[in-house]
Amino acid sequence: MRKFYIYANFLILFLGIFVSCYALYVEIRSESDPEYIAMCDLNQLVSCTKVMNSEYSTGFGIVKLIFGEDSSLNMSNAFYGVVGYFFLTIFQFFEILHPYFLTSISVKIGYLLNILSIYLFFILLHLQTLCIVCLTTYFVNAAYLFLAIRRNQINKNKSE
């Protein structure tokens, strides 16, 4: 059963990388071509480009307030997603080698990702728009947490 959760976690992380890459593409494309309409733009209410072109699309809307708009940390949220999910995928390989310690870290990372998702969801409410790409990343983060908790429980049961 443990292998199922490991494979499911890889699948979820690859989905996160894919969705983040698509978000980065949409962001870059919409900046260079104002006429561009992304697949995730269904109408005024359901529009990922509206979100990705907002002031909150870089540094989660927070980095520029702390470090300034010219800070190297004030990057695209989608870029942070690509890098973050990539590193979590690498972390997953190490977790296979040292499951007892690292699954507890995965659970903590999962909680942090979901806190970030809640924050970003409130930004969607503030922008009064629905972003399919954003909602997909929230699903990825929730699934990552669920799978991390399950792997952690399995590892605890094995050690007892």
Task: Name the residue ranges covered by the structural domains of the chain.
Answer: 2-159
Q: Which H or E run contains 88?
A: helix 77-97
Pick from 81-85, 103-107, 111-115: least confident = 103-107
- For the residues 80-92, what does the mean pLDDT come to? 95
Quick one: which of 85, 116, 112 has its CA closest to 9? 85
- Whether the per-residue pLDDT at 23 is higher than 90: the answer is yes
- Yes or no: say if 25 and 85 are a contact pair by the CB < 8 Å rule: no
Question: φ, ψ for residue 69 (rounded to 5)?
Answer: -70, -25
Decide yes or no: CATH 1.20.1440.130 for domain 2-159: yes
Query: Which segment, 30-39, 135-144, 148-157, is predicted with the most confidence on average?
Result: 135-144
Confidence of residue 160 (pLDDT cuts 50, 70, 90): low
pLDDT at 138: 98
pLDDT at 116: 96
